Amino acid sequence: MSEIESKPGDRRGIGRYLVAIIPLALFAIFAGVAGKMLYDQDVNGRDVSAIPSALIGTKAPALAMAGLDGSNTPALTSEAIAGKLTLVNVFASWCVPCRQEHPILKDLSKDPRLNVVGINYKDKNDNALRFLGELGNPYAAIGVDPNGKAAIDWGVYGIPESYLVASDGTILYKKVGPFDPQSLETGLYPAIEKALAGS
């Protein structure tokens, strides 16, 4: 046997090194990604929880939803948002962050530039009515989505979730999670101003 030929024991030794290196390499990649996210958040002020939507820049899905019985609010249809800058908010009575966000939605509903509508997601009618009765109804129209089909069409990740839709039906902005003062200032308000400047 030539001295250049490797011995079976040598190959096993190299295999052990590879098995040890792979987890270290994966950890280094993970640490690098996490470090970049923290850097973007702390230095650049980027919201790392923001989830991009493939729907931004496309036409909003058609709306033909049944109304919330007993709410005295129109059903959510495409006609309810046509020609208006609209905030479509996905909510449910069982959603704790929806309750936290609700006072902000009530304030937004008073803005004459904005039409606020709601999709009631996988909720019971009586529970939704109690929720709105207790906290107030900011919605110009409400559509019920008992099986989550509309939420799938809109690409909902979790609720609350909101979409700013231009008067021509184009989705301009998406917010996953509840609005708070910071997300209004850095996200929604600039998107509204941009939409109004372009119209």
Bond before 138 cis per omega within 30 degrees = no
Q: Which tens digit of pLDDT belongs to each residue from 95-139?
A: 999 999 999 999 999 999 999 999 999 999 999 999 999 999 999
Write down the mean pLDDT value for the chain: 86
Confidence of residue 160 (pLDDT cuts 50, 70, 90): very high
Q: pLDDT tens, 2-55?
A: 445 555 555 666 767 767 777 777 777 777 776 676 666 555 554 444 555 567
How does pLDDT run across 171-190, given as a tens digit for each residue?
Answer: 999 999 999 999 999 999 99
Choose among 188, 186, 149, 185: nearest CA to 165.
Answer: 188
What pLDDT is stored for residue 9 in this prediction?
A: 53
Task: Report the distance separating Cα 59 and Cα 171, nearest Å.
Answer: 6
Tokens for 35, please give them: 């470090």
Res 191: pLDDT: 96
* Per-residue confidence (pLDDT) for residue 1, from 0 to 100: 46
Q: Considering the entire predicted model, what is its pTM?
A: 0.74
d(CA 37, CA 47): 9
